[in-house]
Amino acid sequence: MAFQAVPDTARFAVRVRSTGGDDVVNVLYFKRQGAWDLSDLQNAAQLLATAWVNEVMPNLPANATLFSVQSRGERVQDDVSFEFVLSPPVSGSRPGGSLPAHCCFCVTHLTGLVGRSNRGRTYFGPLAASDVIADLLVPGRADGFRNALVGIRNVMSNAGWQHVVVSRVRNKARLPVAITVPVIGYRYTDRVVDTQRRRKLGVGS
């Protein structure tokens, strides 16, 4: 598929390694007004990694490790890119083992606009087995994941990076240039544990 520019925006892929060695990848987009370069992207990737350590990893099991944040500009096809690798990787804090790699918890990114193209989602995982009772994530952990995104948004916003949803299609037609919509909040609709088949062991994210 042909490259589609996203003005002023960078893509960040947060990579967490699950028990079986597969990567659980969450992608977030952040927009920064004005000119920015590789140095700005490097600082943003490191800042996001630190925020993920502080906000998300306390909600993940001890056998999950955060090991890198991959970032790249989306403004032009040959935009700047950078991977921040944590040395050493940082483990989660929840005790005990984890659920299978394809089990996760979904938090929706809200923009104030209706329609799927105006919403984003983060699927957190792996999940600590001790935090799931009868297929429901315990309330404290569900709130923890939602609040983690709030914390990350605030940290990045203070550094000049705005969390956005990228919309590539309108009225079933692919746009020549993607548009972005600012994220204004986060929610989960229920505490039922979700599944993603692409995260099954041996398949990866």
- Domains of the chain: which residue ranges? 9-199
Instruction: Please check the confidence at residue 205 and state whether its pLDDT lies above 60.
Output: no
For 159, the token pair is 């550094």
pLDDT at residue 13 tops 70: yes
Q: Can you spell out the DSSP letters for 101-131?
A: TTEEEEEEEE-S--SGGG-EEEEE-S-BGGG
Question: Residue 19's pLDDT band (boundaries 50, 70, 90)?
Answer: confident
Model confidence pLDDT, tens digit, residues 22-57: 789 999 999 999 999 999 999 999 999 999 999 999
- At 187, the pLDDT band (50, 70, 90 cuts) reads very high
pLDDT reported for residue 32: 98
pTM of the entire predicted model: 0.93
Dihedral angle of Cα 199, 66, 11, 42, to the nearest 10 degrees: -160
Tokens encoding 119: 């919403």
137: its two tokens: 């994530």
